[in-house]
């Protein structure tokens, strides 16, 4: 249990990435001096991520500073959010590698989960790119080899990171490379924890199969790592757009752009490694981190001794313990010296990770289609064995999921009319509603069609939680229906006719 003198109510939306240090202090942030777990004394807020806040804290027992991550207050009533947060800590604890974050302690209390990590002063690669632009090829390749080593350890344990990006790679003050932020790490046998029209990950770094909701393999992480390499070599990501939808479409459909020809310092083999890593077909990519790391070796760099020297000066072995340099702290994470470039990560099997259950695949597919403005507007599959007509007064979770996933939104609304959730399933639906009615985890303004679809789904879920005509949940449902109708009238003329028709039918069915 978290014992403290201040309330943790950090508002965290987005994927699980830490933000730059010294963010503005918000309402509910833990005050300096707050004691956590009868042991750790809060010193300052380091950053905020997808579901929690990270604080710099002091451990008086061991006389050291640590990074302490606490689940945001607004997520604690959602069992799947709590499970994802605890899974992050346990996934990290299973892995041991000098280029990965070390977890000291995990406190999985579902009411207030938190965990303690190693702390080190560092900057992210994204900060370095924004400040200085593209990296020299030798430096970029060396950094990527260290990330490959860390990622190989994750894959060895049957895990997939799912959010590889420059913002999740640290360069410490003693020039070590650390892969961080495991809020989206997923084991192949775990069911998806998302259903509500939110996509977990970062569109600019997402593999085509992740954007389409297909089963992921280690090659999916390597695609994202290929984008990281492209960004380090050019100073920008390959696919951009005004909306997340635009970026995802490019990830799925567009061939990766070539590295500009005027970059004469980038050898042909290194360009080829970028192209292979970013192949649309997972089978055409590197299948292991070792293979990717080997493609970034001396041969890819033309065997340049001067290049090797430059890279070594950019990412080197750590100095003696206790030495410091000026810099801005970011949450997390001291690591032991990285391995030499000649010792790449141990290989992981090239065979695909076992497929998730069919229900889990449908859940993830529904999530992605919903983000693309299609979920709830078209049927994923039809299941004619489901009963027609009015459903019973209380429906089990499995049947609700089947209706939400297998039926167009208007049909689901009609068939769930008059139904309510079983008491045991209300916490799940309440968590789903909070995320449907809360902010989207996107950095851009979402498209009106997506917002209208979310209003419809939020109304449907609120209706399932309503147990009487005058209940607060019924009022919430009516509010979402009203908002849906306003969006239809204001923005509907710009939408595809079939989607406008479907949403109008859904609004009518929800009345």
Please compute the mean of the pLDDT values over residues 470-484 and round it to a whole number: 89
Question: Per-residue pLDDT tens for 367-379?
Answer: 444 444 433 333 3
What's the residue count for the chain? 511
Token digits for 474?
A: 């019924």
Q: Are 388 and 412 in contact (CB under 8 A)?
A: no
Strand duo 394-395 + 40-48: pairing: unpaired
Residues with active-site annotation: 163
Under 8 Å CB-to-CB from 143, ≥6 apart: which residues? 125, 135, 169, 171, 177, 232, 314, 315
* Residue ranges covered by each domain of the chain: 122-314, 373-509
CA gap 157, 163 in Å, rounded: 17
Q: Are 48 and 23 in contact (CB under 8 A)?
A: yes
Strand duo 420-421 + 394-395: pairing: parallel
CA gap 459, 462 in Å, rounded: 5
Question: Per-residue pLDDT tens for 255-271?
Answer: 999 999 999 999 999 99
Torsions phi, psi for 318 (to 5 deg)? -70, 155
Question: Per-residue pLDDT tens for 383-417?
Answer: 333 333 333 357 778 778 777 766 788 888 888 87
Q: Which of 395, 20, 11, 338 is nearest to 149 (CA)?
A: 338
Mean pLDDT, rounded, of the chain: 74
**Which pLDDT does position 109 carry in this prediction?**
78
Instruction: Name the 3-class secondary structure at 439.
Output: coil
In the chain, what is the greatest distance between 2 CA atoms, to the nearest angstrom? 76
CA gap 231, 134 in Å, rounded: 7
Strand duo 114-117 + 394-395: pairing: unpaired
What pLDDT band is residue 193 in, cutting at 50, 70 and 90?
very low
Please compute the mean of the pLDDT values over residues 49-75 and round it to a whole number: 85
CA gap 319, 430 in Å, rounded: 51
Under 8 Å CB-to-CB from 180, ≥6 apart: which residues? 18, 100, 101, 168, 169, 170, 332, 333
Question: Per-residue pLDDT tens for 262-320?
Answer: 999 999 999 999 999 999 999 999 999 999 999 998 777 765 434 444 444 445 433 33
pLDDT > 90: what percent of the chain?
A: 30
Count of other CB atoms within 10 angstroms of residue 226 = 26
CATH of domain 122-314: 1.10.510.10
Q: Are 400 and 426 in contact (CB under 8 A)?
A: no
pLDDT higher than threshold 90 for residue 148 = yes
Burial bucket for residue 342 (CB in 10 Å: 0-12, 13-18, 19+)? exposed
What is the enclosing helix (H) or strand (E) of 116?
strand 114-117
pLDDT higher than threshold 60 for residue 348 = no
């Amino acid at each position: 249990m978290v014992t403290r003198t201040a309330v943790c109510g950090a508002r965290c939306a987005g994927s699980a990435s830490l933000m730059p240090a010294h963010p503005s202090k918000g309402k509910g942030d833990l005050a300096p001096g707050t004691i956590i777990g009868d042991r750790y004394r809060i010193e300052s807020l380091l950053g905020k991520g997808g579901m929690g806040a990270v604080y710099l804290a002091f451990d008086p027992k061991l006389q050291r500073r640590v990074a302490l991550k606490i689940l945001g207050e607004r997520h604690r009533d959602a069992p799947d959010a709590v499970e994802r947060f605890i899974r992050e800590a346990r996934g990290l604890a299973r892995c041991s590698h000098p280029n990965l974050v070390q977890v000291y302690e995990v406190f999985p209390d579902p009411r207030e989960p938190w965990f303690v990590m190693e702390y080190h002063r560092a900057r992210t690669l994204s900060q370095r790119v924004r400040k200085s632009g593209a990296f020299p090829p030798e430096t970029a390749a060396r950094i990527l080899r260290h990330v490959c080593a860390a990622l190989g350890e994750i894959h060895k344990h049957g895990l997939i990171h799912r959010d590889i990006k420059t913002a999740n790679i640290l360069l410490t003050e003693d020039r070590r490379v650390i892969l961080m932020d495991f809020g989206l790490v997923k084991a192949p046998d775990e069911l998806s924890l998302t259903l509500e029209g939110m996509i977990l990950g970062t569109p600019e770094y997402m593999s085509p199969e992740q954007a389409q909701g297909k089963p992921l393999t280690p090659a999916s992480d390597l695609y994202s790592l290929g984008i990281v390499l492209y960004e380090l070599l050019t100073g920008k990501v390959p696919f951009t757009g005004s909306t997340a939808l635009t970026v995802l479409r490019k990830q799925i459909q567009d061939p990766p752009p070539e590295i500009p020809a005027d970059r004469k310092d980038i050898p042909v083999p290194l360009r080829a490694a970028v192209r292979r890593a970013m192949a649309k077909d997972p089978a055409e990519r590197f299948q292991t981190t070792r293979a990717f790391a080997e493609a970034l070796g001396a041969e890819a760099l033309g065997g340049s001794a001067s290049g090797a020297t430059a890279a070594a000066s950019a990412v080197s072995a750590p100095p003696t313990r206790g030495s410091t340099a000026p810099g801005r702290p970011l949450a997390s994470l001291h690591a032991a010296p990285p391995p030499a470039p000649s010792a790449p990560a141990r290989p992981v099997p090239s065979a695909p990770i076992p497929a998730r259950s069919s229900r889990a695949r449908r859940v993830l597919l529904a999530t992605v289609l919903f983000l693309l403005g299609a979920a709830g507007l078209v049927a994923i599959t039809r299941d004619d064995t489901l009963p027609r007509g009015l459903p019973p007064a209380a429906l089990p979770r499995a049947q609700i999921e089947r209706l939400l996933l297998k039926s167009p939104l208007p049909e689901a609304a009609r068939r769930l009319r008059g139904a309510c959730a079983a008491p045991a399933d209300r916490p799940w639906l309440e968590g789903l509603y909070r995320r449907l009615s809360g902010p989207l985890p996107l950095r851009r303004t979402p498209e009106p069609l997506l917002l209208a679809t979310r209003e419809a789904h939020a109304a449907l879920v609120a209706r399932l939680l309503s147990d009487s005509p005058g209940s607060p949940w019924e009022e919430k449902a009516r509010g979402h229906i009203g908002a849906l109708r306003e969006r239809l009238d204001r923005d509907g003329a710009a939408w595809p006719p079939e989607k406008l028709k479907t949403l109008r039918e859904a609004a009518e069915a929800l009345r």
